[in-house]
Amino acid sequence: MTTMLAVTVPEWGGPEVLTPDRIERPEPGVTEILVRVHAAGVNPVDWKTRNSGGLIAWAETPIIGWDVSGTVEAVGPGVTLFQPGDEVFGMPHFPGQAGGYAEFVAAPARQFVGKPAEISHIEAAALPLAALTAWQGLVDTAKLQAGQRVLIHAAAGGVGHLAVQIAKAHGAYVIGTARADNHEFLRGLGADEVIDYTTTDFSEAVGDVDIVLDGIGGDYGTRSLRVLRPGGHLVTLPTPDDVPPADQSGDIHTGWTVVEPDRHGLLAIANLVAAGELRPTIDTVLPLTDAAKAHAYGENGRTRGKIVLQIV
């Protein structure tokens, strides 16, 4: 048996359940590629899943982590898009059995695209889940158009800081909520207005908004309804319970969106990177074996940009 290093989750619980282990290396099946993982992005869904199995009911999963950047090691039968040696990034298997926190992952070839040469594997691993969430929410769901006013909550976080850049690349007017410490950072990414949510109620500070991307939940959803124009979109990310009740939403389109593997969206993201319009900010890089530290840090909810695990 050929083995590999992986961080497994033998039982649901706190960061301490994350266990560096040697397990069997996967083989690529029909239409799959085997990727040697150089870096794996860390997302809130990782610790939500580690805690309780997360929002998605699985029978059991030994490995978490869906953001991957690496090199194609081998291709399974029927793969025509890639060959060994290609550098790729993607969000394989989401929301099913993951495989990111490991030296190798085998997954459908079409859940990956070529890594843009302009960014490192660390940067590429920071992108798929968060950038696809922003892209699918703003572009596919809310049909973002140039000139529209977009309000992004948790603008300094993993999804938010990429959403700011994606919205600016589409010619939108972008408003973000963040602590004052993050305002200069967000202006540097192109945000037109920033609101310090610790001192100012955003629902009294802005109006006439076309799209709200809500990465906070709780009462942010209901308060966001007050700032949206008739026909506007409220895209809710944390949980379905964070979507305001239908009888409050009037003319506003509301709903919980869940990110999906999406070759089309990933290509668009790679093109924005190549054009210099999108770049992830890396808050922290830790070795794979320090996954528990990465989770403990991320769960504080103060990450600016992304946390990434380095593998080789």
Ligand X SMILES: NC(=O)c1ccc[n+]([C@@H]2O[C@H](COP(=O)([O-])OP(=O)(O)OC[C@H]3O[C@@H](n4cnc5c(N)ncnc54)[C@H](OP(=O)(O)O)[C@@H]3O)[C@@H](O)[C@H]2O)c1
Tell me which residues touch ligand X (CB under 6 A): 43-45, 129-130, 133, 153-154, 156-160, 177-179, 182, 197, 215-216, 237-238, 257-259, 298, 301-304
Nearest CA to 113 out of 70, 75, 78 is that of 70
Q: Is residue 147 within 8 Å of residue 173, measured between CB atoms?
A: yes
Pick 61 or 133: Cβ nearer ligand X: 133
Q: Give, to the nearest 10 degrees, the angle between helix 158-169 and helix 263-274.
A: 70
79 C-beta neighbours (distance < 10 Å), count: 18
Comparing CB distances to ligand X, the nearer of 75 and 162 is 162
Nearest approach in angstroms of CB 30 to ligand X is 28
Write down the residue that tokens 């793969």 correspond to: 79
Return the axis-axis angle of helices 291-298 and 44-52, rounded to nearest 10°: 100
Decide whether 38 or 153 has the Cβ nearer to ligand X.
Answer: 153
Least Å distance, CB 101 to ligand X, is 17
Choose between 72 and 150: whose C-beta lies nearer to ligand X.
150
Question: CA 174, CA 190: separation in Å to the nearest integer?
Answer: 8
Q: Which is nearer to ligand X, 8 or 236 (CB)?
A: 236
Burial of 1 by CB count in 10 Å (0-12 exposed, 13-18 middle, 19+ buried)?
Answer: exposed
Nearest of 32, 50, 93 to residue 68 by alpha carbon:
93
In what order do the strands lie in the sheet containing 253-256? 193-195, 173-177, 149-152, 209-214, 228-236, 253-256
- Tell me which residue of 184, 17, 28 sits closest to 99, measured CA to CA: 28
Residue 9 identity (one-letter amino acid): V
Q: CB of 279: closest distance to ligand X in angstroms? A: 16
Cβ at position 194, least distance to ligand X in Å: 9
Helix (H, G, I), strand (E, B) or coil at 176: strand
By beta-carbon proximity to ligand X, the closer residue of 72 and 130 is 130
List residues bridging with 149 in a β-sheet.
173
Nearest distance in Å: CB 259, ligand X: 4
Written as one letter, the residue type at 175 is I
From the CB of 125, what's the least distance to ligand X, in Å?
14
Nearest residue to 155 (alpha-carbon basis) of 112, 197, 121: 197
Beta carbon nearer to ligand X, 36 or 263: 263
C-beta closer to ligand X: residue 61 or 303 = 303
Write down the least CB distance from residue 138 to ligand X, Å.
13
- Helix, strand, or coil (residue 252): coil
Report in angstroms how near the CB of residue 86 gets to ligand X at its nearest. Answer: 27
